[in-house]
Structure 1
Amino acid sequence: MTVVRIGTRGSELARAQTGMIARELEKRGAQTELVIIATEGDRSTAPLASLGGAGVFVAALREALLDGRVDVAVHSLKDLPTAPAPGLAIGAVPKRVDARDALCARDGLTLETLPEGARVGTGSPRRVAQLRARRPDLEIVDLRGNVDTRLGTVASGELDAVVLAVAGLDRLGRLEVVTDFLDINPWPTAPGQGALAVEVRAGEEKLVAALDHKTSRVTAEAERRTLALLEAGCSAPVGAHAVIDDGLLFLSARVYGPDGHITSSHALYVSDSKDPATELAERVSAELFDQGAADLIGATA
């Protein structure tokens, strides 16, 4: 039997996510092998925005795919650049999990009960903008590192709280550290957050096609295409959330700036469009541009 070599970053979360994909492929009769690939984002401690955004976590995995060292690469979808990668394809978007962010704070504190001047860590420009909008009195500290490293800054007293993705904590079995789940409507998260992307060489999509979850792919594509149309990178202060309810695709996106934010929300029936994700993303992005999105994104670049 041919072994399917699956490329992954070396972090505990990346290996947990890749292990989930490996087990799903094995259920379908494949034999798998995990191959650890070091990325620039893992090696550097510089702020994420200065490295060029979350795309630094995927370049080395894509190189390994293209040169044949691995057959499949597993990414957090929110880390993937929105531009197509020549020679590669997203063969599957498995069923998405919780897309929310969560506050993990000392003493069970919530975002509202954090004391004035509390130190909160995050490496995300979007989360920085959201925190400043909701609690301008907080001290925001740039933070990199894996989940345990970030949580350790709270346990040690260095920080009062950190903001992390619920999906990652769930996949690591660490939801007990959450002190406040941040509702998706006032706090939209990164396009594609909560979803995984299973990437393969173009033409080899059948290798992982059985793992694809249509609803998750459509909603994530609507969010990511909005980001692409806004010409904003993975680290831009843009939040988006899409959901399909009774055949109706809803999409809402928000762009943050130094002095506030703008929002657009639209919906359409999936059955009424040949490409509902793109059509809806075009409507939302056009309205955001009309409201001045280009100036906001430029001001925070």
Structure 2
Amino acid sequence: MTALRLGTRRSALATTQSGWVADRLREAGHEVELVEITTEGDVSGELLTAIGGTGVFAAAIRHALLDGRIDVAVHSLKDLPTTPEPGLVVAAVPVREDSRDVLVARDKLTLGELPPGSVVGTGSPRRTAQLAALGLGLDIRPIRGNVDTRIGFVTSGKLDAVVLARAGLSRLDRLDEATEVIDPIQVLPAPGQGALAVECRSDRADVVAAVSALDDADTRACVLAERSLLASLEAGCTAPIGALAEVVEGDDGLELSLRAFVGSEDGSVELRRSLVGPYDEPEALGSRLAHILLEDGAADLQVTPSAGPAPDHAPHQPEQVS
């Protein structure tokens, strides 16, 4: 096999993630060439909801895969639609980074230390809904941009704080800028947050074989449960969604524990439910918990017209970024 052409967006986070996968493939003895792909989401200054949701980030790279311009693509897994793309396969889900959100605030403040009225920026209705539900009196504003841009809103004094994915800061070696790692009891992450998806064409058995060596079974099981929940909710719910699955030790061996959040963006309604199921049946677990949420009222929740940028997760303009 000739050198693997690995497609990546040009942002610092995307190239760092792609470079990490490329290094793992090189360690396994493969030659890898990084190929930059420009997406509509990278060049547009509009909010993501105005240009079709975060699917704009994945679409161009997937087209390059299907056209044969690249052999492998690396996505943030939460950026991928839950519906499979014909002709493509997620051949590996490598070991997951910490899935939690972090706060980057002025004066190194935590959520509990921010005074009422503090202006907090986020590109996620999921975060907006859960922060509002905490009842801290925060003024939550929609923002978008890369990590530098978002943290810059705080250092320049335009915002008091922003909320970001911890995984992104970790991969960029910028965790020291976080002032608090937010407990999932307060804010559950997006389904698949912190995980990568390594995708290739399903008819390229040689590439599938090379990439599949990077797969981590525990991570794949967890994200399958989370994304199954998301897919099931998309049929009957348009509210912000958070989910986190973890591998736990049960009486008869390994199990999956899945927690989920569905709520209104203004924080007036929040549903939090959890369920434990067999390790080897992650998709069934996600589907069961989704149906519990729908029966308990999630089907009646709708995204408000003021919803900010990306659907993280307000299903389903398909995806989301950090």
TM-score range, shorter chain: over 0.9
State the shift of 1:45 in Å: 2.1
Which residue among 276, 287, 290 is the counterpart of 1:267?
A: 276
Give the aligned partner of residue 191 of structure 2. 191
Q: Hey, what's the Cα distance between the residues in 1 that align with 2:44 and 2:270?
A: 31
Give the aligned partner of residue 165 of structure 2. 165
Q: Hey, what's the Cα distance between the residues in 2 that align with 1:71 and 1:183?
A: 38
Structure 1: gaps spanning 5 or more residues: none
Amino acid at match of 2:14: A
Q: Hey, what's the Cα distance between the residues in 2 that align with 1:236 and 1:73?
A: 29
C-alpha distance 84-265 of structure 1, shift in aligned 2 (>3 A): same
C-alpha distance 297-217 of structure 1, shift in aligned 2 (>3 A): farther
Which residue among 246, 252, 255 is the counterpart of 2:259?
A: 252
Which residue among 285, 294, 317 is the counterpart of 1:280?
A: 285
SS at structure 2 position matched to 1:82: coil
State the Cα deviation string for residues 55-83 of structure 1 (Å, max 9, x = none). Answer: 22100000000001100000000110111
SS at structure 2 position matched to 1:144: coil
CA contact under 8 A between 2:103 and 2:161: conserved in structure 1?
A: yes
State the Cα deviation string for residues 194-219 of structure 1 (Å, max 9, x = none). Answer: 00000000133213000000100010
Determine if the alignment matches structure 1 residue 293 to structure 2 residue 302: no
Give the aligned partner of residue 116 of structure 1. 116
SS at structure 1 position matched to 2:159: coil
SS at structure 1 position matched to 2:17: helix
CA contact under 8 A between 1:267 and 1:280: conserved in structure 2?
A: yes
Give the aligned partner of residue 89 of structure 2. 89
SS at structure 2 position matched to 1:208: helix
Deviates more, 1:171-180 or 1:35-44: 35-44
CA contact under 8 A between 1:232 and 1:297: conserved in structure 2?
A: no
Amino acid at match of 1:254: F
SS at structure 1 position matched to 2:111: coil
State the shift of 1:51 in Å: 2.9
C-alpha distance 163-298 of structure 1, shift in aligned 2 (>3 A): closer
Which residue among 224, 228, 238 is the counterpart of 1:225?
A: 228
State the shift of 1:245 in Å: 1.4
Deviates more, 1:151-160 or 1:37-46: 37-46
SS at structure 2 position matched to 1:211: coil
Give the aligned partner of residue 215 of structure 1. 218
Structure 2: gaps spanning 5 or more residues: 308-313, 315-322
Q: Hey, what's the Cα distance between the residues in 1 that align with 2:47 and 2:109?
A: 26
Q: Hey, what's the Cα distance between the residues in 2 that align with 1:16 and 1:22?
A: 10
SS at structure 2 position matched to 1:230: helix
CA contact under 8 A between 1:8 and 1:73: conserved in structure 2?
A: yes
Q: Hey, what's the Cα distance between the residues in 2 that align with 1:190 and 1:232?
A: 18
SS at structure 1 position matched to 2:157: coil
State the shift of 1:191 in Å: 0.1
Coordinate RMSD, CA, aligned: 1.7
Q: Hey, what's the Cα distance between the residues in 2 that align with 1:46 and 1:126?
A: 19
TM-score (norm 1): 0.94
Amino acid at match of 1:115: P
State the shift of 1:174 in Å: 0.2
Q: 1:127-206 maps to which residues of 2 (within 5 A)?
A: 127-135=127-135, 137-204=137-204, 205-206=208-209
**Percentage of identical aligned residues:** 53
Amino acid at match of 1:248: E
Deviates more, 1:259-268 or 1:151-160: 259-268
State the shift of 1:236 in Å: 5.3
May I ask how many residue pairs the two structures share in their alignment? Answer: 296
Amino acid at match of 1:27: E
Q: Hey, what's the Cα distance between the residues in 1 that align with 2:240 and 2:65?
A: 30
Deviates more, 1:255-264 or 1:12-21: 255-264
Q: Hey, what's the Cα distance between the residues in 2 that align with 1:22 and 1:195?
A: 16
Q: Hey, what's the Cα distance between the residues in 1 that align with 2:157 and 2:134?
A: 23
C-alpha distance 231-138 of structure 1, shift in aligned 2 (>3 A): same
Q: Hey, what's the Cα distance between the residues in 2 that align with 1:154 and 1:298?
A: 27
State the shift of 1:162 in Å: 0.5
Q: Hey, what's the Cα distance between the residues in 2 that align with 1:142 and 1:282?
A: 30
Q: 1:19-58 maps to which residues of 2 (within 5 A)?
A: 19-58=19-58
Q: Hey, what's the Cα distance between the residues in 1 that align with 2:235 and 2:51?
A: 15
